[in-house]
Structure 1
Amino acid sequence: MCVTLSTSVLADTEVIDVTPQQVEELLDSKEVPIVIDARTPEEYAEGHIKGAIVIDVTAKDFKEKLGKMDKSKVYIVHCLSGARGRKAVKVFEKLGFKKVYHMNGGMMAWEDSGNPVDKGE
């Protein structure tokens, strides 16, 4: 798997940009990362990665909700196209999370790659 690695200067957070295909591989791995969908609950309801947790990066309580997550776990974060996912990554870094994968292209790239989209809860 070929990834672009960029480690934050603000914290000890390892941030890795990945493609939808690489996310598929990560989700099939032994230690499955936690998927954070940074879109709105309405967008999430229209279709999401199975098992993803929706935490809206534009909500006032985003940092608070994210802060309750286990910082030692590995996360994959995404949004619709990538911009809000990048914004979310900055919060992961500020809060001192260990490792975060950012899915380039977001759900649009996920769907364009032919990956499954879950429409259930």
Structure 2
Amino acid sequence: MAVRVGTDLIEIDRIARALARPGFRDRCFTKAEQAYCETRCNPAESYAARFCGKEAVGKALGCGVRFTWKEIEIVGPPKPGVTISGKTARFAEKVGMRDIDVSLTHSHTMAGAACVVELEP
């Protein structure tokens, strides 16, 4: 069994500023992700963690940030999971992805994520 790991870290204030820009929310997050984040006390924390999750998935798959943001959807609660679609799903199939797991975290100032992708031997 082969695995790849991806991580990401970002300042929550950076995402909060991006959320104030027209179009950022709709360009980077699915309607389901937005619906979840908007229910939180500090939506920017959850948006930042999901943003990191998407970046970590791209890194673990080996495509970096060459994906369409909404093609990697962070699902959950209770536990975060990942749904991949479109060209990102085709890329994941091409590299032999069998399973994917993601973990999200945030403090008052930072958000982070780690992703592990299991590949076909």
Structure of greater Rg: 2
More helix by share: 2
Q: Which has the higher contact order (CA 8 A, sep 6+)?
A: 2
Q: TM-score, normalised by structure 2?
A: 0.30
More strand by share: 2
